[in-house]
Structure 1
Amino acid sequence: TASLAPGGTQQFAANVTGTSNTGVTWSAGGVQGGNSTLGTISSLGLYTAPASLPNPIGIKIVATSVADGTTSGTALARVHDNVEFQNSPVKLGTSGGNFTDKNTIGNMMFCCSGTLGSLVSRSGNFYILSNNHVLGKSDQAALGEPISQPGLADTNCGRLPTTTVATLSQMVPLNSQNNVDAALAMIAGQAVDTTGSILDLGGIGQAAPPSATLAIPSARQPVSKSGDATGLTCSTIDVVNALIQVTYSTQCQGGTSFKVNFDNQVSILGNQFSGSGDSGSLIITSDKAQPVALLYAGSDTGTVGNPIQAVLGALKDPNTGEVPRIVGGTDHSVPCPATTSQSQVSTIGPQDKTGLPQSEISRATLARNHRMFELMQDSAVDTVDVGRSADNPDESAIVVTLRGQTSLPIPAQVDGVRTRIVQSVEFNALHAQARQVEALSPISETEIARARSAKQQHAEELMTNSAIIGVGVGASNDSPGESAIVVFVEKGKSVAVPAVIDGVRTRVITTDPFRTFNWGKSTVKACSRR
């Protein structure tokens, strides 16, 4: 995915193999060569974004082989205005950062920036709310340093025009006791729109303030954000109450890396919600635009945020103790672009055993043969088969197909093998709407509390294993309506995660490390994004 401003350009390339004719034709938004509404793309793959924001903002770029018209490759160009220079007063959700956040290695200069996320008020003053690592350079900045719009990474390290819109006023030290990555910058004069308006919250090209009412994070809650790197995107909260290990660096490029464990964090589903440069964005509920979290890190599988109540509580006035308030208005819905919304429903087929080791299949087959008669005693049980777990796709599962409500709960594991519960085709056909609502609805607070208690008892112990970089609470994909302890395992590392902990199912997410830099897109030489 490439992100660019209206009128900006992006070079795409196509690699054709298996034929001497390596030529391709290019299209943008389904139109060969594109047009003024979608943007144009040359015969050499140079895409030029339209002068005005397209709707939707995501334009599919397709390269089709000349030798074989059925063979093609695709990419996405996301056109949005969050990266652009703004005349004062600036709207938030925009590119920005500490104007001194740059360093030189050899003859190469590197610079960083993120998102000036939202506006808060405290003790009669207005402040920009963003991250410590965006405004405060990961604890390395001095109070009073200038905060610019756009950020250095979007202005060729300051060679293009910028405006000083604020000065660094307060930053919460990055450590495991504080559990937030947050900082404030007092606005300069009339440089910032004091209505608290954030780009695109009222629709593509239309800024609007968030709600002034705060929301409490909950699993499967639809959320949105508007940020520098990826503009307006929407997804759902996947994990709450998470203990997450996050990697930082003391410099924009190079420097010393260090890790901080943050507890009670929020994880957002999917790799399309954010990218490097979105740090500092305000995460809000999609239905009411209520602030719910402050975005600060990500990986190839998701995004991490600090709950907004914890953020504001950590930024009390050091003299009066006054807690800042989000500057906003009334509740309103957020017009989510269809191309960025991501569902929570598992796409892993219960009968799909592709790639599972034979030892896994044999293990589940033995358990199924041993316990099938017992499970089939319940009249609601239709079949008992061997398949794949949706909570841990590297493991097999005993797949129990139901045609209604069981008299007793299906156990989370049988003879050490996970169980996966699905409804029969006939039942789904009769109750399709109810099943869809169940699949997308929030997990009950009773279920979340059950998993939260187990997580609190075992998270720190689990995190002593270097392969585990996060433990939180979410929904089980193997058993609709049940909660799960969600365990984040670092890619390339192996660890045996028990199927059940204190009676609660576990769900495993394999991910690369959570970090505050260079996720969701490749590093840009000579200017890097936060």
Structure 2
Amino acid sequence: MHVDTARELKALLSRRLSEAPPSAVVASGAPGGWSGIALGLAPVAPGQVHLAVRLLAEADAALVLGALDDAARSEVDVRVIGPVRPQRSPTPEQLQRRTRPLVPGISVAHPTVTAGTLGGFVTRRDVDGLLVLSNNHVLAASDAASVGDPVLQPGPADGGTAADRVGTLTAFERFVATGNLVDAAVAALDEGVAADPAAYPGGALLGAVLPADEVDPDELVEKVGRTTGHTRGRITAVEVDGVGVQYGEGVVHTFDDQIEVEGLQGSFSEGGDSGSVIWRSSDRAPLGLLFAGSSTGGSAGGGVTFANPLATVLRVLGLAFVAQG
């Protein structure tokens, strides 16, 4: 319907809801006398919208739809969204603690590594259950570890000890001198270790990972990491070849086809954020695995962050991204 018509219908229904007796409200637990119904406009084409109806409970649909004729009902976008609460991002201090169930963004590491970030959860055809996704240099100690080694949460730098074991290193992509595509590793969860794959700031990410060739410059992105928490940035370059990363004294590996990100306010990432999954702000599509960065440069002087295309990580290690528990 035309946007002006929708606004008139929205105003009419709002008046009816405000005049409805309390006994007409079906939703239980709606606080402060709220009806449990929100109304808005959902664009569908230039100048055309649907009436957006957002419900605390499915049963409340009758309170709105019962007042509409058949023609109007075809122009309504009804969704049950449940309780609405402020979205609070975890602080770095919270992300560095021992956390159960495991959630994205928390401290994790091989016993010989300081600490990195648990980026998210994946599955692999030859392994039962969920696997933790992070970097080789976080879970596999930059090729120095062996499959079967323990993984700790939190990492040793945050007080993690053998008692904080949560999984077993299962697979990692070894480094070569030049032409690396990913810095990635996975660890299978130990029996009894619970995880919540959907617990990103703002809720679950999309299950579909953005293809590497669809990652575009200028996209707004986000991540949650052990050191800087929940940050926002912008993709400033894609398909970046020859990124030299220093993994130790005199040890440099170069990477091709990488994603560059700058923070919108200050640094997008700092040491310890390695392993974070990066997602697109517009639709929450996961697109990158953060693995390195600089502390200077960039348009705002806060350095730049580099990430492997997440689709490449999944392909190389034979993984599937898990968005929900």
- Normalization by structure 2: what TM-score? 0.64
SS in 1 for 2:287: strand
- If asked which structure has higher relative contact order (CA below 8 Å, sep 6+), I would say 2
Is 1:135–2:139 an aligned residue pair? yes
Q: Is the 8 A contact 1:172 1:178 kept in 2?
A: no
Is 1:122–2:152 an aligned residue pair? no
Candidates 201, 207, 214, aligned match of 2:209: 214
Is 1:82–2:82 an aligned residue pair? no
Task: Give the match for residue 228 of structure 1.
Answer: 226
User: How many Å separate the matches in 2 of 1:257 and 1:247?
Assistant: 10
- The 1:96–1:135 alpha-carbon spacing in structure 2 relative to 1, beyond 3 Å, is same
Map 1:31-50; keep pairs closer than 5 Å.
none
SS in 1 for 2:151: strand
- Normalization by structure 1: what TM-score? 0.40
Q: Is the 8 A contact 2:218 2:234 kept in 1?
A: yes
User: How many Å separate the matches in 2 of 1:222 and 1:274?
Assistant: 15
User: How many Å separate the matches in 2 of 1:178 and 1:266?
Assistant: 13
User: How many Å separate the matches in 2 of 1:162 and 1:228?
Assistant: 20
Q: Deviations over 1:399-435 (max 9, x none)?
A: xxxxxxxxxxxxxxxxxxxxxxxxxxxxxxxxxxxxx
Q: Is the 8 A contact 1:118 1:198 kept in 2?
A: no
User: How many Å separate the matches in 2 of 1:55 and 1:169?
Assistant: 34
User: How many Å separate the matches in 2 of 1:57 and 1:92?
Assistant: 12
- The 1:220–1:165 alpha-carbon spacing in structure 2 relative to 1, beyond 3 Å, is same
Question: Displacement, 1:162?
Answer: 5.3
Q: Deviations over 1:93-130 (max 9, x none)?
A: 110100133xxxxxxxxxx1100110001224321111
Is 1:293–2:295 an aligned residue pair? no
Deviates more, 1:297-306 or 1:213-222: 213-222
- The 1:188–1:57 alpha-carbon spacing in structure 2 relative to 1, beyond 3 Å, is closer
Map 1:355-434; keep pairs closer than 5 Å.
none
Q: Is the 8 A contact 1:196 1:327 kept in 2?
A: yes
Candidates 97, 101, 111, aligned match of 2:109: 97
Candidates 275, 284, 287, aligned match of 2:279: 284
Task: Give the match for residue 386 of structure 1.
Answer: none
User: How many Å separate the matches in 2 of 1:139 and 1:293?
Assistant: 21
Q: Is the 8 A contact 1:149 1:162 kept in 2?
A: no
- The 1:243–1:151 alpha-carbon spacing in structure 2 relative to 1, beyond 3 Å, is same
Q: Is the 8 A contact 2:224 2:231 kept in 1?
A: yes
Is 1:147–2:148 an aligned residue pair? no
Map 1:417-496; keep pairs closer than 5 Å.
none
Gaps of 5+ in 2: 1-85, 296-302
Q: Is the 8 A contact 1:143 1:170 kept in 2?
A: yes
Task: Give the match for residue 309 of structure 1.
Answer: 311
User: How many Å separate the matches in 1 of 2:324 and 2:198?
Assistant: 9
Question: Displacement, 1:284?
Answer: 0.6
- The 1:85–1:302 alpha-carbon spacing in structure 2 relative to 1, beyond 3 Å, is same
User: How many Å separate the matches in 1 of 2:236 and 2:321?
Assistant: 24
Task: Give the match for residue 268 of structure 1.
Answer: 261
Question: Displacement, 1:329?
Answer: 4.5
Candidates 236, 251, 269, aligned match of 1:258: 251
Gaps of 5+ in 1: 1-53, 59-77, 102-111, 203-207, 251-255, 317-323, 331-530
Question: Displacement, 1:80?
Answer: 4.8
- The 1:288–1:329 alpha-carbon spacing in structure 2 relative to 1, beyond 3 Å, is farther
Task: Give the match for residue 237 of structure 2.
Answer: 239
Task: Give the match for residue 165 of structure 2.
Answer: 164
Question: Displacement, 1:325?
Answer: 0.8
SS in 1 for 2:109: strand
User: How many Å separate the matches in 2 of 1:227 and 1:234?
Assistant: 11
Amino acid in structure 2 at the alignment position of 1:86: T
User: How many Å separate the matches in 1 of 2:112 and 2:136?
Assistant: 14
Question: Displacement, 1:247?
Answer: 2.6
Question: Displacement, 1:189?
Answer: 1.6
Question: Displacement, 1:178?
Answer: 3.8
SS in 2 for 1:98: coil
Task: Give the match for residue 113 of structure 1.
Answer: 115
User: How many Å separate the matches in 2 of 1:249 and 1:177?
Assistant: 15
- The 1:302–1:177 alpha-carbon spacing in structure 2 relative to 1, beyond 3 Å, is closer
Q: How much is the aligned-residue C-alpha RMSD, in angstroms?
A: 2.4
User: How many Å separate the matches in 2 of 1:213 and 1:232?
Assistant: 21
SS in 2 for 1:274: coil
Runs of 4+ in structure 1 off by over 3 angstroms are 54-58
Q: Is the 8 A contact 2:167 2:188 kept in 1?
A: yes
Question: Displacement, 1:260?
Answer: 1.4
User: How many Å separate the matches in 2 of 1:212 and 1:138?
Assistant: 29
User: How many Å separate the matches in 1 of 2:223 and 2:277?
Assistant: 6
User: How many Å separate the matches in 2 of 1:178 and 1:315?
Assistant: 13
Name whichever structure is richer in helix by fraction: 2
User: How many Å separate the matches in 2 of 1:210 and 1:55?
Assistant: 15
User: How many Å separate the matches in 2 of 1:237 and 1:152?
Assistant: 32
Question: Displacement, 1:198?
Answer: 3.5
Amino acid in structure 2 at the alignment position of 1:148: L
Q: Is the 8 A contact 1:80 1:230 kept in 2?
A: no
Question: Displacement, 1:308?
Answer: 0.8
- The 1:152–1:266 alpha-carbon spacing in structure 2 relative to 1, beyond 3 Å, is same
Map 1:500-519; keep pairs closer than 5 Å.
none
- The 1:243–1:146 alpha-carbon spacing in structure 2 relative to 1, beyond 3 Å, is same
User: How many Å separate the matches in 2 of 1:326 and 1:82?
Assistant: 21
Question: Displacement, 1:249?
Answer: 3.0
Is 1:180–2:182 an aligned residue pair? yes
- Higher-Rg member (1/2): 1
